[in-house]
């Protein structure tokens, strides 16, 4: 499996999902070789060790016995854009003297000159790994690892499964970069089977990539149960309603709709507080927008949060809103529910297929979003009932079950490839 | 002689608009009358008009043919707004004397559970509506969604009704058959409830010795729905996976023939014909051929009043807790099964004292009447049905009928409208 570093060393839902899948698969009869990209510098040296520790922490011995971990030295991370890669490779600290002394020109690093070169370099390494390590199936996650999967398949001749957590159309709001799209399309076409994280995503794959529906299986994400969640005591002194946005502030996540909604809510409920947690390329624009709308006083930018800070943010909120423009799955509402917070989710999301007890809106329908936010603030019984019922939805989702479905896909693909040989 | 007793429920709710919190205090148009009209006309064309025409034909063709209707008051409101043709077709049926009209609450409400005073008021209002439109005064009662309990039956008896309809639920009947006439179990009512029933007695005053009294019967006859045979038509008729599909009138006639008992009570939504079961399923042919198929087996038809007049109750039925015809549970959980439904019901009926105050303050002017009308439209049972969050197959039925995307939306728009409505009442009371 070509996957991604687990939290807290990764950012966003993909690492969380990979961890869930790996742990889930440990309950089924699967021996896993997990290949992860990891930049080989001083900081990541440390990560390398702690990463392994993290894998060990809280996971059973069973998983370790069945798991082999291989790192490829690479600067890839799951949400990388071409620009972000260049910046990481040739960071702004080039401008300061000390780093100039230590760092040579990027062209002399072992990494690819640009993101696409790095992806294909990663794929070459993947080919070597697939040659040297016995396996029956290749399982990759999202476009950055697709060329690796395709190369590995060419080398070993084993069937390839692409697990799609997001497509270029989700990330860019339907303005895909041609190069990324081509990689995705080739990867999907070369795949023996595709796992989509939602029906929503399956439909996008069919429409935008021309893949046959028979080749796609939907396996929804789940949420890890063993983690103790944060149940905050209600704060008596702070009675003002708190509405939370948490996620990368990018076009895909719809942060500006959240602010426009806030403006409408504040007209009726001037004491409401709107917390925006996370960073991203739209963060500065959002700060600007909050002043333009004259609601800056009621909007708090919490910045990037991790670990217990995230749980605390959820637990502190009266309502969590995920106004995503296009969300293949969207794991954050599950985290919010885990922390006892009711959620409002965009209809343009995969998670709305598995969480019944949530408020639903179209991301562009700001008036309706404001209406429902005000309803949660005003109708106490509604909030209580949402909290109580959404827990039940959560209880039905487990990685063990979902990994069973993945195991089913493995079985199906293996059977087909054996038939093809004979 | 064994006979079949048809009762068709005819009802259309006033569905709420997507009335937002931001609109509270801005305007007071809560109902989505575009949608209400659209649905009413759709059902009129697919069901009410063609089925009424067919029944009228059957009445002429078969003098022994009988059926009964319960038309909710809000359905009659719909007719007056958007369907005089539909109303006329019911009037034509009323003239045949082969069709009985039953009594219910004007607003198809749950008042029977939450406020006996409101219950009695709505029954009275409904009787007036039926009398105005059809010149008939109903004497048999059937409550919203067949909601029934000993207490409701006793109240209805004390209001002077001659009979009542209920669900033949398995958990009540056990080994007994619904195909007999039963009677309700009498129980003691609270004093103030008694006086409400007495005040709303439907019968003319009669001189008994020195005192004038209104007639009440000692016992209240009870007709129970045969849900298996009713559901064969209402739910299973078009189901190709059903082993008995397709269901012919002859086959169904044979089942009626084989059933024990004197009266086979088939109670269902009228929309079964042409709306739930589309025309192309053959439902109209089925209905058209049924009288002939039954005649060949010497089975007749009776209205509920005829059943009561011609049969003697064989036993008492005890329904301590409310029983309805909805969902698998046959209880009230379709309307008050979860906490948001309970909260909504509590809030709407908690307005009653304020409404009473308003009544005292003003004479029956048009503004008060419209306030009363709005309060009662918000009591229509469908408003609460849409808020149901039951997860099993029944949930799908709720979803099929709901104009909202989710039970939460239903609750939010309802509470928004109610909040504005209460604010209006409060300001009227202040002035």
The answer to whether B389 contacts A357, with C-beta atoms less than 8 Å apart, is yes
Q: Read off the pLDDT of each residue in A173-196 and give the average, rounded to a whole number.
A: 93
Q: Enumerate the residues of chain A whose CB falls inside 8 A of the CB of residue B348.
A: none
Judged by a CB distance cut-off of 8 A, whether residue A62 touches chain B is no
User: Which residue do the tokens 């948001």 mark?
Assistant: B340
Judged by a CB distance cut-off of 8 A, whether residue A357 touches chain B is yes
Q: In this structure, what token pair is assigned to residue A36? A: 């992860």
Q: Which residues in A365-382 are b (16+ Cβ under 10 Å) and which e?
A: bbbbbbbbbbbbbbbebb
Domains and CATH numbers, chain B: 3-317 (3.20.110.20), 334-430 (no CATH)
d(CA A191, CA A373): 43
Strands B67-71 and B181-184: unpaired
d(CA A37, CA A145): 10
Residues ≥6 apart with Cβ < 8 Å to B63: B98
- For residue range A126-143, what is the model confidence (pLDDT) as tens digits? 899 888 889 999 999 998
* Amino acid B399: pLDDT: 63
The answer to whether B340 contacts A375, with C-beta atoms less than 8 Å apart, is no
d(CA B1, CA B262): 7
* Amino acid B320: pLDDT: 95
Contact A229, A314 (CB under 8 A): no
Range name among A107-116, A276-285, B389-398, B421-430 with the lowest pLDDT average: B389-398
Tell me the shortest Cα–Cα distance from B107 to chain A, in angstroms.
26
d(CA B241, CA A366): 44
Tell me the shortest Cα–Cα distance from A371 to chain B, in angstroms.
5
Identify the band that residue A236 occupies on the pLDDT scale cut at 50, 70 and 90.
very low
Question: Does the global pTM surpass 0.95?
Answer: no
Task: Report the greatest alpha carbon distance in chain A.
Answer: 72
Q: How far is CA B358 from CA B49, B364, B379, B426, in A?
A: 40, 10, 18, 10
User: Which residue do the tokens 């991370």 mark?
Assistant: A77
Q: Enumerate the residues of chain B whose CB falls inside 8 A of the CB of residue A367.
A: 20, 22
State the number of CA atoms in the 13 A half-sphere of B135 facing the CB: 7
Contact B89, B53 (CB under 8 A): yes
* Amino acid A43: pLDDT: 38
For A359, nearest residue in chain B (alpha carbons): B408
DSSP H or E segment with residue A187: helix A178-190
Contact A269, A377 (CB under 8 A): yes
Identify the band that residue A224 occupies on the pLDDT scale cut at 50, 70 and 90.
confident
Residues written for chain B: 431
Contact B298, B1 (CB under 8 A): yes
The answer to whether A378 contacts B21, with C-beta atoms less than 8 Å apart, is yes
d(CA B349, CA B118): 9
Domains and CATH numbers, chain A: 13-222+399-421 (3.40.50.2000), 242-395 (3.40.50.2000)
Report whether pLDDT(A239) > 80.
Answer: no
Tell me the shortest Cα–Cα distance from B399 to chain A, in angstroms.
13
Q: How far is CA B330 from CA A48, B131, B383, in A?
A: 61, 32, 19
User: Between B18, B22, B343, which is nearest A381 by CB?
Assistant: B343
The answer to whether A268 contacts B339, with C-beta atoms less than 8 Å apart, is no
For B387, nearest residue in chain A (alpha carbons): A382
Say how many CB pairs under 8 Å bridge A and B.
58
Tell me the shortest Cα–Cα distance from A396 to chain B, in angstroms.
13
The answer to whether A375 contacts B416, with C-beta atoms less than 8 Å apart, is yes
Strands A193-196 and A160-164: parallel
Q: What are phi and psi of B196, to 5 degrees?
A: -65, -45
Tens-digit pLDDT profile for chain B (431 aa)? 899 999 999 999 999 999 999 999 999 999 999 999 999 999 999 999 999 999 999 999 999 999 999 999 999 999 999 999 999 999 999 999 999 999 999 999 999 999 999 999 999 999 999 999 999 999 999 999 999 999 999 999 999 999 999 999 999 999 999 999 999 999 999 999 999 999 999 988 777 788 877 788 899 999 999 999 999 999 999 999 999 999 999 999 999 999 999 999 999 999 999 999 999 999 999 999 999 999 999 999 999 999 999 999 999 999 999 999 988 889 999 999 999 999 999 999 999 999 999 988 876 688 888 999 999 999 999 999 999 988 544 445 666 678 888 899 999 999 999 999 999 999 988 87
According to the 3-state scheme, what is the secondary structure of chain B? CCEEEEEEEECCCCCECCCCHHHCCCCCCCECHHHHHHHHHHHHHHHHHHHHHHHHHHHHHCCCCCEEEEECHHHHHHHHHHCHHHHHHHHHHHCCCCEEECECCCCCECHHHHCHHHHHHHHHHHHHHHHHHHCCCCCEECCHHHCECHHHHHHHHHCCCCEEEEECCHHHHCCCCCCCEEEECCCCCCHHHHHHHHHCCCCCEEEECCEEEECCCCCCEEEEECHHHHHHHHCCCCCCCCCCCCCCHHHHHHHHHHCCCCEEEEEEEHHHECCCECHHHCHHHHHHHHHHHHHHCCCEECCHHHHHHHCCCCCEECCCCCECCCCCCCCCHHHHCCHHHHHHHHHHHCCHHHHHHHHHHCCCCHHHHHHHHHHHHCCEHHHHHCCCCCCCHHHHHHHHHCCCCCHHHHHHHHHHHHHHHHHHHHHHHHC
Q: What are phi and psi of B80, to 5 degrees?
A: -65, -35
Contact B108, B123 (CB under 8 A): no
Q: Which residues of B touch A (CB under 8 A)?
A: 18, 20-22, 338-340, 343, 389, 391, 405-406, 408-409, 411-412, 415-416, 419
* Amino acid A52: pLDDT: 44
User: Between A356, A372, A381, which is nearest B339 by CB?
Assistant: A381
State the number of CA atoms in the 13 A half-sphere of B387 facing the CB: 30
Q: Enumerate the residues of chain B whose CB falls inside 8 A of the CB of residue A268.
A: 21-22
- Identify the CA nearest to B158 among candidates B105, B112, B194, B211: B194
Judged by a CB distance cut-off of 8 A, whether residue A372 touches chain B is yes
Angle among Cα B26, B30, B32 to the nearest 5 degrees reads 130
The answer to whether A375 contacts B415, with C-beta atoms less than 8 Å apart, is yes
Report whether pLDDT(A42) > 80.
Answer: no
Whether the link from the prior residue into A64 is cis, omega within 30° of 0, is no
For B411, nearest residue in chain A (alpha carbons): A382
Provide the percentage of residues in chain A whose pLDDT is more than 90: 52
Output A43 or A342, whichever has higher pLDDT.
A342
For B389, nearest residue in chain A (alpha carbons): A357
Q: How far is CA B49 from CA A145, B43, B195, B271, B357, in A?
A: 63, 9, 42, 11, 43
Q: In this structure, what token pair is assigned to residue A400? A: 């063990």
DSSP H or E segment with residue A100: helix A97-102
User: Between A374, A379, A389, which is nearest B389 by CB?
Assistant: A389
Beta-bridge partner residues of B140: B163
Identify the band that residue A346 occupies on the pLDDT scale cut at 50, 70 and 90.
very high
- Identify the CA nearest to B166 among candidates B342, B1, B304: B304
Residues ≥6 apart with Cβ < 8 Å to A405: A217, A219
The answer to whether A268 contacts B21, with C-beta atoms less than 8 Å apart, is yes
User: Between A356, A370, A382, which is nearest B22 by CB?
Assistant: A370
The answer to whether A264 contacts B22, with C-beta atoms less than 8 Å apart, is yes
d(CA A196, CA A202): 6
DSSP H or E segment with residue A310: helix A308-316
* Amino acid A118: pLDDT: 86
* Amino acid B124: pLDDT: 97
- For residue range A366-407, what is the model confidence (pLDDT) as tens digits? 999 999 999 999 999 999 999 999 998 888 888 999 999 999
Whether the link from the prior residue into A8 is cis, omega within 30° of 0, is yes
ipTM of the complex: 0.85
DSSP state letters, A19-47? HHHHHHHTTTT--EEEEEEE--SHHHHHH
* Amino acid A102: pLDDT: 40
Range name among A6-15, A38-47, A208-217 with the lowest pLDDT average: A38-47
Residues ≥6 apart with Cβ < 8 Å to A356: A389, A393, B389, B391, B406
Residue B363, Cβ density class (10 Å: 0-12 exposed, 13-18 middle, ≥19 buried) = exposed
Strands B181-184 and B221-225: antiparallel
The answer to whether A379 contacts B408, with C-beta atoms less than 8 Å apart, is no
Contact A59, A26 (CB under 8 A): yes
d(CA B232, CA B4): 15
In this structure, how many other beta carbons lie within 10 angstroms of the beta carbon of residue B353?
9
Beta-bridge partner residues of B223: B165, B181
Q: Enumerate the residues of chain A whose CB falls inside 8 A of the CB of residue B339.
A: 381, 384-385, 388
Contact A163, A187 (CB under 8 A): no
d(CA A33, CA A362): 40
d(CA B348, CA B110): 11
Residues of B annotated as catalytic are: 145
Range name among A23-32, A103-112, B157-166 with the lowest pLDDT average: A103-112
User: Which residue do the tokens 């008021």 mark?
Assistant: B121
Tell me the shortest Cα–Cα distance from A278 to chain B, in angstroms.
29
Judged by a CB distance cut-off of 8 A, whether residue A182 touches chain B is no
């Amino acid at each position: 499996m070509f996957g991604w570093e687990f939290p807290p060393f990764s950012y966003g839902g993909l690492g969380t999902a990979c961890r869930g899948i790996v742990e889930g698969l440990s309950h089924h009869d699967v021996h896993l070789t997990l290949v992860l990209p990891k930049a080989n510098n001083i900081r990541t040296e440390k990560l390398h060790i702690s990463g392994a520790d993290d894998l060990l922490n809280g996971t059973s011995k069973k998983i370790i016995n069945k798991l082999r971990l291989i790192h490829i030295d690479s600067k890839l991370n799951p949400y990388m854009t071409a620009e972000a890669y260049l910046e990481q490779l040739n960071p702004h600290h080039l401008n300061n003297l000390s780093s100039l002394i230590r760092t040579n020109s990027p062209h002399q690093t072992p990494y690819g000159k640009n993101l696409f070169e790095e992806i294909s370099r990663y794929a070459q390494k993947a080919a070597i790994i697939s040659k040297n390590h016995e396996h029956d199936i290749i399982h990759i996650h999202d476009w950055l690892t697709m060329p690796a999967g395709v190369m590995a398949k060419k080398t070993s001749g084993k069937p390839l499964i692409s697990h799609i957590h997001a497509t270029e159309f989700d990330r860019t709001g339907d303005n895909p970069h041609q190069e990324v799209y081509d990689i995705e399309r080739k990867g999907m076409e070369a795949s023996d089977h595709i796992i989509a994280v939602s029906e929503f995503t399956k439909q996008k794959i069919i429409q935008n990539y021309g893949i046959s529906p028979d080749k796609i299986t939907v396996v929804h994400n789940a949420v890890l149960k063993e983690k103790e969640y944060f149940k905050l005591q209600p704060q008596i002194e702070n009675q003002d309603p708190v509405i939370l946005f948490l996620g990368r502030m990018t076009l895909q996540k719809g942060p500006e709709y959240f602010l426009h909604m806030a403006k409408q809510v504040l007209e009726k409920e001037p004491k409401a507080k709107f917390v925006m947690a996370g960073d991203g390329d739209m963060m500065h624009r959002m700060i600007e927008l909050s002043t333009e709308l004259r609601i800056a006083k009621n909007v708090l930018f919490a910045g990037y949060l991790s670990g217990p800070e995230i749980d605390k943010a959820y637990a502190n909120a009266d309502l969590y809103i995920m106004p995503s423009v296009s969300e293949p799955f969207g794991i954050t509402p599950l985290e919010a529910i885990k922390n006892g917070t009711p959620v409002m989710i965009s209809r343009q999301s995969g998670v709305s297929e598995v969480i019944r007890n949530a408020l639903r809106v179209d991301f562009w329908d700001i008036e309706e979003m404001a209406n429902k936010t005000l309803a949660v603030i005003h109708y106490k019984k509604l909030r209580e009932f949402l909290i109580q019922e959404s827990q039940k939805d959560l209880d039905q989702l487990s990685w063990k079950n979902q990994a069973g479905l993945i195991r089913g896909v493995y079985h199906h693909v293996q059977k087909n490839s054996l038939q093809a040989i004979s | 002689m064994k006979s079949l007793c048809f009762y068709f429920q005819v009802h259309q709710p006033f569905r709420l608009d997507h009335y937002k919190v931001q609109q509270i205090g801005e305007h007071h148009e809560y109902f989505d009358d575009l949608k209400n009209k659209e649905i009413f006309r759709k059902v009129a064309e697919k069901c009410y008009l063609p089925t009424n025409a067919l029944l009228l034909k059957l009445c002429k063709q078969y003098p022994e043919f009988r059926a009964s209707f319960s038309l909710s008051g809000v359905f009659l409101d719909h007719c007056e707004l958007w369907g005089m043709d539909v109303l006329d077709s019911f009037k034509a049926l009323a003239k045949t004397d082969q069709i009985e009209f039953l009594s219910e609450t004007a607003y198809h409400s749950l008042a029977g559970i939450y406020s006996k005073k409101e219950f009695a008021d709505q029954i009275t209002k409904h009787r007036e509506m039926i009398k105005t439109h059809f010149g008939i005064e109903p004497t048999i009662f059937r409550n919203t969604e067949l909601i029934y309990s000993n207490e409701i039956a006793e109240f209805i008896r004390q209001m002077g009704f001659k009979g009542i309809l209920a669900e033949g639920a398995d958990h009540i009947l056990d080994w007994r058959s619904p195909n007999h006439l039963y009677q309700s179990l009498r129980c003691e009512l609270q004093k103030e409830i008694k006086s409400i029933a007495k005040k709303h007695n439907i019968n003319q005053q009669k001189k008994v010795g020195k005192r004038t009294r209104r007639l009440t019967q000692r016992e209240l006859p009870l007709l129970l729905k045969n849900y298996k045979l009713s559901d064969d038509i209402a739910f299973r008729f078009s189901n190709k996976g059903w082993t008995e599909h397709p269901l012919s009138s002859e086959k169904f006639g044979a089942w009626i023939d084989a059933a024990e008992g004197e009266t086979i009570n088939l109670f269902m939504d009228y929309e079964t014909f042409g709306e739930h079961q589309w025309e192309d399923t053959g439902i109209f042919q089925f209905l058209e051929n049924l009288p002939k198929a039954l005649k060949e087996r010497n089975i007749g038809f009776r209205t509920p009043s005829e059943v009561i007049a011609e049969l003697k109750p064989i036993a008492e039925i005890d329904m301590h807790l409310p029983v309805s015809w909805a969902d698998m549970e046959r209880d009230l959980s379709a309307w008050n099964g979860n906490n948001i439904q309970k909260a909504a019901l509590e809030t709407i009926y908690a307005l009653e004292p304020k409404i009473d105050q308003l009544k005292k303050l003003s004479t029956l002017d048009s503004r008060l009447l419209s306030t009363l009308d709005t309060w009662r439209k918000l009591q229509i049972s469908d408003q609460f049905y849409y808020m149901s969050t039951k997860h099993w197959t029944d949930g799908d039925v709720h979803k099929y009928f709901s104009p909202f995307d989710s039970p939460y939306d239903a609750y939010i728009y309802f509470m928004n409208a109610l909040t504005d409505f209460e604010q209006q009442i409060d300001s009227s009371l202040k002035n």
